[in-house]
Amino acid sequence: MVLDRRICSLVFFCLALTQCSPVQDASSYEARLDIPALKSFTQSVVQTYPLPGMAVVVVTRDTAYYLTTGYSDLARKIPFTDSTVFFAGGFSELLVASTALRLQQAGKLSLQDPVVRELPYFQMQGDYQRISAHHLLTHTSGIPHFNPAWDMPAYEEDALEATTRSIIFQDVMFAPGTQCKRSPYNYDILADLMAKSEQKSFEEVVHAETLAPLGMRHSSFFPDTSSAELARPHEILNWISYDLRESDIYPYTRENAGSFGLHTTVGDMAKWMQMVLRIDTVQGGLSSASIDQLMTAHYKTGENTYKGYGWEIRDSEGVRVFQNSWNAGGFSGDLSVIPAQEMAVMVLSNTSDDFNPSVISEHILDHLHGASLSTVKYPIHIAMSRRLNEGRCLEEVLAWHDSLMIAGGGDYLMGPALLGQLGVNLLHRLSRMEDATEVFLHAVQLYPESPEAHLNLAEALLTSGLLAEAKTHFEEAMKLRPSMNSPYVSFLREQLAVAQENQASS
C-alpha cells in the first residue's frame, strides 16, 4: 500500500556494499568514487536500521557501478544480488516516457494529439477532449488521483482499457496544461494509448521499443509475482522494536502497469541511465532530439522547480537536477541525474517505512563532487522506540533524550521532526494517544519555534476532543510559518473546521 500522507520519511538511511560490479573500465571513475570509503560509510549503518535489502547504481561518463546488499527475501535469507529482479515503482514513468518518445521518433505517435482521437472511450466530465499524451506525461491533464488497488490485482489483457474507462464519471480538476497534479492514471492511460496505437499489448510495445533495443533483458512490465527471483516487499512489523516482515500484498496489478509496473535489475537500470547521459557505447537508445525532450523542463511548478516527462526537476546553485523519487508497496527508490555533469545515482530498497532513499543519492552525488563520506547518525526516534521496547517508561526515555540534547546529540540525529516522528508512530501506528500527546507536548516545550511541533500537538489535541487547545497550536504554527500550505496543513484545517461546526450545532 502507498504510505499514508501523514507518515513522513524522515530517517537518514544508507547501505553496506556486499557487491561492486564494474560495467566498464573503472580507472578514471575510481578517482571520483572511493569504494572503500563508501563501504566503510555504509556498513555500520545497515547494522542499525530496519533495512532488508538495497540496490545502488552509480553512472558517470567513464563507467557504471551497481551495488547490492542485504536480502531480497528476509525470511528465507535470499541475498539481494545483481540478478535480483525488483519492483521499480515510480521508475515506470521514465521507461513509459522513453517508449512514448521512441514511438514519436518513429512517427507512430503524436504527443500533442488529443487522447480521444485514438481512445474514443476515454471520457470524463468537463474539459477532457483536449487532454493529450503530453499532458499525461507531465501530470497536467487534470485527471484525479487514485491509488492502485494491489489487493485486487488484475491480469487480463484489457486491464489498462478498464482503467481508462473507469473515470467516465470523474470531473476534470482543471483545464489541461494549466496546473500540475500527480495521478498514476496519467501513465496508465498513456500505456493504454500506446497499446491501442500499435495494436499490441502495452507490455509488448514497451519491450519492442525500449527494453529490447537497450538490451534490458531482465526487465518487464508483466512479472510473475509468485517467482522466487523477485525481491519481496517488506514493512515494519512492530513500530517499537522496528522488526521487519514481508508485506502481505505484492504491489502489482496490470490495471496500473503504466504507472507502477516496471520490474528490472541493477544492470538493466544502468543501461537506461547510460542512455540518458548519452554514453557513446549505449546501443539502441533514443535519438539525441528525443533525449533532449525527455530531459526538458516542460512545466514550471515553483520558483526553481519544474515538471518533466517522469521527472521532478530543480535548479540548485546553477545546476539542473532531474529526480524521480517514490515509495510504494513495500519498496522505495530514488533516481537523481545531473546531465551537465554526466552523473546519475539510483538507490532502491525493498522497504518503504521510515526510509528516504534520496538522502543516500545526495550523499553519493556529493561524494562524486569531492566531498568526504561522513558517518550518518542514528535517528533519535528509532533509538527512543527501541528503549521503550526494552521496557523503559516514556518519562525515562524522554529524560534520556533531553540529556543527549544537552550534550549536543553525540552519535544521534536529533531535531523536532525526528522527535515528532516518535509521536506520529505512537499516535497513528500504535494508537497510544496519551503517550503521543506527551511526546508532542515535550517537542513544543523543547522547540517552541517549530511549526511542525505545534501542528503535531494540534492533531493530537483535536483527536482527544480538545478543540480550543488544538486551534491555539494550529494558529501558532501558521503564525510561525504563514506560507505553509502542505496537504497535512489543509487536512488539519479542514478537520478543525468540521469539529467547530459540530460543536456549534450540538
Residue 169 lies in a domain: no
For residue 376, is pLDDT > 80? no
| Total domains in the fold of the chain | 1
Mean pLDDT score, 309-319: 93
Distances (CA, A) of 53 to 228, 247, 332, 335: 15, 14, 11, 17
pLDDT at 364: 84
Percent of the chain with pLDDT over 70: 91
Q: Average pLDDT of the chain?
A: 90
Distance CA 164, CA 143 (A): 11
For residue 1, is pLDDT > 60? no
Mean pLDDT score, 345-370: 87
- Enclosing domain of residue 470: 380-505
For residue 335, is pLDDT > 90? yes
Mean pLDDT score, 390-405: 96
pLDDT at 51: 85
Residue 12 lies in a domain: no
Residue 367 lies in a domain: no
pLDDT at 45: 56
pTM: predicted TM-score of the whole model, two decimal places: 0.86
Mean pLDDT score, 306-328: 95
Q: Rg of the chain's alpha carbons, rounded to an integer? A: 24
Distance CA 483, CA 485 (A): 6
Residue 409 lies in a domain: yes
pLDDT-derived band at 44, boundaries 50, 70, 90: low
pLDDT-derived band at 47, boundaries 50, 70, 90: low
Residue 250 lies in a domain: no
Pairing of strands 319-328, 21-22: unpaired
DSSP output for 212-239: HHHT-TT-BSS--TT-TTBPPPEEEEET
Which CATH number fits the domain that encloses residue 417? 1.25.40.10
Residue 460 lies in a domain: yes
pLDDT-derived band at 231, boundaries 50, 70, 90: very high
Higher pLDDT, 187 or 229: 187
Mean pLDDT score, 95-107: 97
pLDDT-derived band at 91, boundaries 50, 70, 90: very high
Residue 4 lies in a domain: no
Grid coordinates representing 470 are 488544538
**Alpha helices in 47-184, H assignment, sequence order:** 92-105, 133-137, 159-165
| Tens digits of residue pLDDT in 7-23 | 333 333 333 333 444 44
Residue 475 lies in a domain: yes
Mean pLDDT score, 307-315: 97
b (16+ CB within 10 A) / e for 26-55: beebeeebeeeebbebbeebbebbbbbbbb
Distance CA 272, CA 26 (A): 19
- β-bridge partners, 345: 58, 336
Cβ atoms of residues 92 and 262 within 8 Å? yes
Phi, psi of 126 (to 5 degrees): 105, -155
Residue that the C-alpha cell 510559518 belongs to: 481
Residue that the C-alpha cell 490495471 belongs to: 255
| Tens digits of residue pLDDT in 261-279 | 999 999 999 999 999 999 8
